[in-house]
Amino acid sequence: MAQGKGLPTRDEINDQFKWDLTDVYQSEEEWKEEFNQVKGKVAEIKKYQGQLGNSAEDLLQLLNLSTQLSRVLARLFTYAQRKNDQDTTNNQYQALVSKIQGLSNQVSSATAFIVPEIIQIPVDKLEEFLANNEDLKLYQQYLDDIIRRKEHFLSPEEERIMALTGELAQGPENIFGMINNADMEFPTIENEAGEEVKVTHGRYVELLKSDSRQVRKDVFEAYYEQYQKQKNTIATTLSTNIKKDLFRMRARDYSSCLEAALDANNIPVEVYNNLLKTVKGNLDPMYDYVDLKREALGVDELHIYDLYTPLVKDVEMKIDYKEAKEIVLEALQPLGDKYLEVVNKAFESNWIDVYENKGKRSGAYSAGCYDAHPYILLNYTGEMNDLFTLTHELGHALHSYYSNQEQPYLYSDYSIFVAEVASTVNESLLIQHLLKKTDDETKKKYLLNHYLEQFRGTVYRQTMFADYEQLIHQLAEEGEALTPNLLSKRYHNLNEKYYGDNLVIDDKIDIEWARIPHFYYNFYVYQYATGFSAAVALSEQILEEENKAVESYLEFLKSGSSDYPLEILKKAGVDMSSPEPIEKAVNIFADSVGKMKELI
């Protein structure tokens, strides 16, 4: 879409480029009907309180009811959240999200007694229940996981109180979302052609790739100046979010917020710390890359706002959406015809919301529910990065599709730890395809530069974010006040460490922490880096071993949460408890920097 002073409204976008939410509910009235049905069933749950240890039948009936309500809530939430994300300024959609969040918290409060009561059932009695009731065996892994975390669950009354905090706990993220997506207003700047261009979330990185250094500097300063104006509000919002994590950590008797966050998926803290240690022990390739970029751009000093600038100039790599779909289908051929059939279905059946419109949520994601196909949100501008984003989100979508097809609802939702593997395998296949397809040396250099940027953005940058997230949680655990100045100073110091002396760390980057939504997701970002590392290994297996590796990979996609994520990955051929996949990834980055030096 062409740049202009403003964005189109939702109504001005062609329907073929918008997702079709009628696959979830035909209308808002239908949504409201099911909402009211769920609301009416909440009271039924209470009938089972105090009864779970009586018989296998009572336990089964309660678990079935709880699972059914969870499944319908996910469907209700999918419709409401997608509606809100397509236009965050619409008060009607905001109300839908608020209503479903409130109902979800009611259900959480009503079901809060379940886990504490299960814990009180003697293990031998629980095993007897499972042995004598065939239908209850569906819940075997669910019950085993509860027993594994037994010491961190509270009494029924305490769990009810914890559940009542749910709506309050969502406050910081919701407030940040409204500031960032609905209220934040950016100015216009003058582009290299002398035209006035409105700065938006979607255009920010695109403008940072401008050939004009003045444009890059102007958009960088204009963008972060708005966050600087909001620093006190956003710092308080982020600090409150971390206090929420701290409260939950202490209430459940974990030694750190990190341990509390990782334990849900049975991920040892050592896996997180291993990532930080391995990447920080391999920063020289990043320093080499920064110096290579400085030399290639012909500047005495490389600034933060120069990082996104391609090393190769005057290469036309604009890709319209129709061409992007064709490229994706070609690149993913190694995954087989059945996989491609589902990708085609996503393209042809309005699973994807393509272009940016006024009020639309920034960024990109894939999300859905068990009773409908996945949905993909994009803000497509035709940049090479948008092609990779489309491919990335299709990886998520196909993972969800296969998991929903093969697993019962209870085990259909896979861990975030493995989610980024599926998306990044797709990206790895895409870059290999693009590098092989072109004979143009200049375009090869451009693509190799893009690959290097993938590494920088996914392994190094996300690890830096993970480092920062752990740091500010540790400061909060030690009683430090997370003031704007403290948050900015620590962020500045990490940028210096990860990028080295050859990059000027401009002061305005110090406020970047204020725009990262993932800092509200409770130790989420490290999984981009671990996922990328695992994906590098899996994509190489797919390209080298072909049918055998593809079959193993598709089984991985179908696994959902039928086992713990580390075990699922081991079955697919990658051991993330070892530093080996991460070391392999950073070595590939170092080799790629070397190849780029030879080409430049």
CA distances from 417 to 154, 263, 266, 581, 582 (A): 26, 12, 10, 14, 14
Classify residue 185 as exposed, middle or buried by CB count within 10 Å of its CB (0-12, 13-18, 19+): exposed
For residue 523, what are its two tokens?
Answer: 């130790």
Give the Cβ contact number of residue 347 at 10 Å: 18
For residue 283, the SS3 value is: coil
For residue 368, what are its two tokens?
Answer: 């859905």
Active-site residue, from 159, 206, 356, 393? 393
Phi, psi of 40 (to 5 degrees): -75, -20
Instruction: Provide the 8-state DSSP code for 316.
Output: -
Q: Which residue type sits at 30?
A: E
Torsion of the alpha carbons at 178, 467, 458 and 421, rounded to the nearest 10: -90
DSSP assignments along 457-487, one per residue: IIIIHHHHHHHHHHHHHHHHHTT----HHHH
Helix %, strand %, coil % of the chain (to 5): 70, 5, 25
Give the Cβ contact number of residue 403 at 10 Å: 24
How far does CA 552 lie from the centroid of its chain? Answer: 24
CA distances from 491 to 279, 415, 497 (A): 17, 28, 10
Conformational region of residue 447, where left means phi above 0, alpha means psi within -120 to 50, and beta covers everything else: alpha
Nearest to 228 by CA among 489, 496, 514, 490: 514
| 393 given a catalytic annotation | yes
Active site (catalytic) residues = 393
